[in-house]
Structures are given as structure tokens and as C-alpha cells.
Structure 1
């Protein structure tokens, strides 16, 4: 009698490849239910997500993660322009035959997710954003320690604690260490880290630009689109400070804003099960409305 195969999880799911428009997108999928495509952060790859968060999401959703074009295990020309990142998510959804799906994203990936929603609103049921920015200039801006830390060639646990957690909190420091260990546990088919020369070049290509310039009417669209939008952020968010969302709370008609105490840029890695449950409850209980 053959032994049963392991249940696919974030730690053992195979890396698959979709040939799309002259490039190959590396992706993984786990879980069943409504499709949820997640766009990753700056310098992020398939193995930048905390497996505990993905596995918790997989109890409710068909979770799909991927490497952007030209980064990680994907081929093609890389870019950090939001529209280019969004095209990767849309093209992957097309390749997988997903007519309707939830789009989610963390940090830079959250910006890409908003562009996806604006470009194909009829196909998006919900938007789930973590530690990210609305369209327009940041006010207040990122804290200087973000770039000082994020641009190091290698980020160790101390750097990750600064970047994604709340260093002033003992419980957050402990959560950082636990998340670091979970992420490092996968040994098979890991995506390679993005070389400094690559991410520095991609940043230089956007020098002087707002991280999410509202040049295509994104703010007006998202304010009135009727797609339920969830934003989860920490109260000490050093990259995209939470107050950037406050003025939108009565402007974006379907915005749901949750600020978690004593957390930083990666609350889904600090409280992975809680973050996944919040997203699942949000999707179950909020329905898309006609555009205002």
C-alpha cells in the first residue's frame, strides 16, 4: 500500500511555471476555495511570505503566490513600476483560467493589487492590502530607517525586525524570530534572492517619482468602485505610515481599515493566523456593490 502524499502546504508546494507572452512566471498554489492572488513586497520573492500566513489562508482560499517577471525564478524584463507588476498578476490569472478572483498584496505588492483592481474591476471580488500605500504622495512619508535598512545587500534577523515588526515590543521581536525560522525552513526549489544591482537599478529607474503616483485616476476609481477593500496595517508602519489612510476612511466608500497595535510593516507575519482569519471573515461578510 502506498503511503499517502503530503498535503500541499507553503513549505512543500511545488514551484510551477506558466509561459506567458514571451516570459515564464514562477508560481505556487495551495488550498481550495475562492482564488486569492498575492503580490509580494519590494525585494520579495516566492519565499518572502511567512508559510504560517499562507497555510492559514489556504484553509479558506485557493492561494496563489508568484515571482514578478525577471525576479526570483521568473524570466523576462524586471520592473518595479506598478502597472508592470499588475500585468504579471493579471497574465497569471489568465493563464490559470481565473475569471473571478481576490487580489491581495503586501507593500509594493499592495500598490500592484490596487492597479489590478482598477484595470480589471469586473474580475475582482475583493481587495486585501497589507502594509501599503494609497495612490498619491505619502504624508507622512516613510521613516529614513526604512531605506537605510532595506537597501542593505543582505537583511539579517535584526534588519527584518526593523523592517517588518516593532523593535520596541518584546512580543514583536519574538514574533520576528519565529517568522524568520518559518520562512527559512523550506529547502526545496527556493527562489534566489534579488541581487543588489538589480533592485538598485529598478529603483533608479523610478528616481524622483512618487512610489504610487495617481496619474491614472486610481484614487477616484478606488473611492467609488464598490469593490470591498481591506487594509491591514501596523501602528508603527515605517514604510507607508498608517495615517496616509485616515483621510480616506469616509472617501473610499468600500474601504475597511484595520490598524493593529505595536506592529510594523508585516503584521501578517507577526500574527499570521489572525491576519488570515480577518481576511477570510472580510471576504465572507462583505459583498461587491455597484460602482457609485
Structure 2
């Protein structure tokens, strides 16, 4: 494990550095359609942080929107806590759904110790969901959150209704083991430049979209969530690198996921190249893949209106 100084440097790089790729089956290389969606309520700014205890963990969470029906629980990427989500995404989804964002064990304002495996992170997420009293939820996972989402679908299938994956991949994702080198190469960059480097492409259009997303993420200034600690980030990184190790049965296991799956992937994602999404699309029976052009790891925040439209249509 790296020392605290190295971990602190990596934390600044990691919000969008982590792992890309995922699932699904049709509409490859699809160009997102334009959307006229207008966000009318800023849930991201006004939602209060709540807490619920289960076992030895007090989980911090927020509820965005008050729609009826199956809630959408969103799982965070490496180094991300409640206020690292792009409000264009969370607000857009909350117009049509009850959206729940939360800090898993030891992350942000939650207590406990962050697990060093994806399997144990999945157990923590399941514990949180059941503590809220839900027996069926929709799940959305970004990057590392997508790893956790897959694990929940495999081990607790009865809990899962529909799945959205973005910037995430299966065990042993091609290119994922190179993550430490990618992080080291970005050492010394500002948080904003790290955000742009890992999440977006070098084109003017993609960088502009990334700058807008970065500004939105900083918008909430009152009662912001606590940042991820060095200890928590180190455990997360350990879990991610373990997930990156070769696992010959990964795609075969995904064939057992029967829930509808929507996967959004950037055409030029660097941490986990798009070939992983294509491979997954051939093994998950009821999944759809949309590849966003000139987009990197954070493709869904580069095209927030299109993503929200597709996700809300998928969930309804």
C-alpha cells in the first residue's frame, strides 16, 4: 500500500480515474439524441444528509425527489462521496425517480471501516438498502460503483429490479490493471485538470463539457459531505486493483444476470477501453449498450441531458 502522501495525490486524481466499462448488448456506437429536458427542482442543493445505523456502521445518505415506485440507489466511484456527483445527473434523475445517494462503510460521513474488497463493499451496500426497508431497488453504478453493482446483482439478485452501469467493467477488465500508471502519470496536476484528464477527451468540445461538469460538482457549498479519507481511499484502491486481476469466469458469471441493464460507455474511455463493454454486451442476456462519441470515462456527464433522458426512459 502506498504511503499517505502518495494516497493523497492519488485521491485528487481518482474521482474519474477509476475503471470503466460494463455491460450490455445493442445500439453500439450509438450517437446520443438531443434532449429538451429542463431540470426544475435542484434537489442536489437542498437535500439534507440523513443517517441510518445497521450493525456497527452509521450510513450517511440523501434522498433526492419524492416519486413513487422503485427507488434508484446510486453507487459511487473510487474516491467519491455524496457531493462528488454531478447535479445535472442527480437532479435530472430525481425529476422522475426517488434517487438515493449514500456513503458506504467508512466513506465520507459514514462510520465504520472501508472494505478492501468489492465483495465486502457489496455486502455493505446491501446492508444499507435493507436497513432502509427496501426489498427491491434499481441500481446505478459509476466506475467502482459499477463493480459493486455487478456483485450485488450476482449475490443478491432478488433485491435488484433494473441496472444502469456507466464507466465500469467486469472482473479482469482489459486495461484496468494499468490504473496505477495512469494515476502516477497525472501526478502534480490540479484537481480540475485530473478531472478532465481521466473523465474526458482532448477535444475542445469534450473539455468544455468537462469544465462545465466540474463547476456543477463544486456548486453545493453548504453542508457538503466529508471528503474520502486516506485510509478509505487506500482500501478502495486495493479493492479495485484486486478486481482488475485476471478472472477467466467473469463473463460467464455475467450470463446469470437476468435483470434489464442499460450501459453507457465513452468511446475513448482510457482506464477501461470500450472493448470490455462490447465483450460484456455479448454475455448479459437483457442488456443494451450505448457508446457516446468523443467521450471518455465520464461520458454520462459529458452528455447529461441525453443520459438522463435514456436513463429515465429505461427506468419508467
Q: CA deviation at 1:254?
A: 1.3
Distance 1:176 1:201, change over 3 A: same
Q: Does the 8 Å contact 2:176/2:244 carry over to 1?
A: no
Of 61, 65, 72 in structure 2, the residue corresponding to residue 36 of structure 1 is: 72
State how far apart, in whole Å, the 1-side matches of 2:262 and 2:139 are.
Answer: 11
Structure 2 match to 1:288: none
1:231-250, CA deviations, whole angstroms, 9 ceiling, x for partnerless residues? 11101111111111212333
TM-score (normalised: structure 2): 0.79
Q: Assess if the C-alpha contact under 8 Å between 1:12 and 1:188 holds in 2.
A: no
- Residue 115 of structure 2 corresponds to 79
**Which structure carries more helix by proportion?**
2
Q: Any residues of structure 2 matched to 1:27-176 within 5 Å, and which?
A: 27-31=61-65, 32-33=67-68, 34-138=70-174, 142=178, 146-148=182-184, 152=187, 155-166=190-201, 168-176=202-210
Within the alignment, does 1:248 sit opposite 2:280 as a pair? yes
Gaps of 5+ in 1: 1-5, 285-292
Change (3 A) 1:117 1:153: farther
4+ long deviations beyond 4 Å: 139-145, 152-155, 205-208, 212-215
Q: Residue 101 of structure 2 aligns to a residue in which SS? A: strand
Q: With the length of structure 1 as denominator, give the TM-score of the two structures.
A: 0.85
Change (3 A) 1:112 1:207: closer
Q: CA deviation at 1:225?
A: 2.9
Kindly indicate whether residue 258 of structure 2 is the aligned counterpart of residue 226 of structure 1: yes
Q: Do the aligned partners of residues 128 and 91 (structure 1) sit closer, same or farther apart at CA in structure 2, a change above 3 Å counting?
A: same
* 2:212 pairs with one of 178, 181, 185: 178
Question: For 2:41 and 2:315, how far apart are their aligned partners in 1?
Answer: 25
Counterparts in 2 of 1:207 and 1:73: CA distance versus 1, 3 Å:
closer
Give aligned pairs, total.
Answer: 275
Alignment partners' CA distance in 2, 1:274 and 1:145: 32
Distance 2:213 2:64 in 1: 19
Higher relative contact order (CA 8 A, sep 6+): 2
Distance 2:253 2:301 in 1: 30
Counterpart secondary structure, 2:61: strand
Alignment partner, residue 244 of structure 2: 211
Q: Which residue of 2 aligns with 1:194?
A: 228
Asked if structure 1 preserves the Cα contact closer than 8 Å seen for 2:268 and 2:294, the reply is yes
Q: Distance in 1 between matches of 2:283 and 2:232?
A: 38
Q: Shift of the alpha carbon at 1:221?
A: 3.9
Give SS of 1:236's match. coil
Residues 143, 238 of structure 1: 8 Å contact kept:
no
Question: RMSD value over aligned CA atoms?
Answer: 2.5
Could you tell me whether the CA contact under 8 Å between 2:118 and 2:243 is conserved in 1? no
Output one character per residue of 1:17-39: Cα deviation in whole Å (capped at 9) or x when no partner: 11111111101111114301010
